[in-house]
Amino acid sequence: MARFLEARAVCLGKARVAGRLYDLGRYPGMLPAHTPGDLVHGELLELSDAEATLAELDRYENCDDVTQDYRPFEREIAEVILETGAKRNAWVYWYKGEIGEDRRVASGDFLNPGPGAR
């Protein structure tokens, strides 16, 4: 999926969104924020063919599979804040499952979870 996105998106820079990040094993999951300090860090991508790319991402995240009773992620618009302080609306994928706080990535950054994490 990283190669797929690399060919279809331009990185606009590091960004953050209000939320809480969890380690689901091989990948992260994001839940809504509980406090103003709950932030998830990542990158904002601009998609070259948004409709087709989002359709493929939805398949990847199982958001479009109507045959499943349970879909682990749901795509919604959220406000993200770039490093410059500029705010943009962007699509994000929210995790819809249950997860314990012991799986929380306190730093909000899956690639840099902080000392003692995972």
pLDDT tens-place string over residues 57-91: 988 887 766 566 677 899 999 999 999 999 999 99
Q: Please tell me the predicted confidence (pLDDT) of residue 102.
A: 95
Is residue 12 domain-resident? yes
Is residue 111 domain-resident? no
Is residue 39 domain-resident? yes
Is residue 77 domain-resident? yes
Is residue 114 domain-resident? no
Is residue 112 domain-resident? no
- Would you state the structure tokens that stand for residue 46, as one six-digit string? 């601009």
The domain in which residue 90 lies consists of 2-103
- Give the predicted TM-score (pTM) of the model: 0.86
Listed in sequence order, the residues at least 6 apart from 23 whose beta carbon sits closer than 8 Å to its beta carbon are 103, 104, 105, 110, 113, 117, 118
Mean pLDDT of the chain: 90
Is residue 115 domain-resident? no
Asked whether residue 40 carries a pLDDT value surpassing 90, the answer given is yes
The number of distinct structural domains making up the chain is 1
> Looking at the DSSP assignment, which residues form a beta bridge with residue 15?
42, 82
Q: What is the CATH number of the domain that holds 30?
A: 3.10.490.10
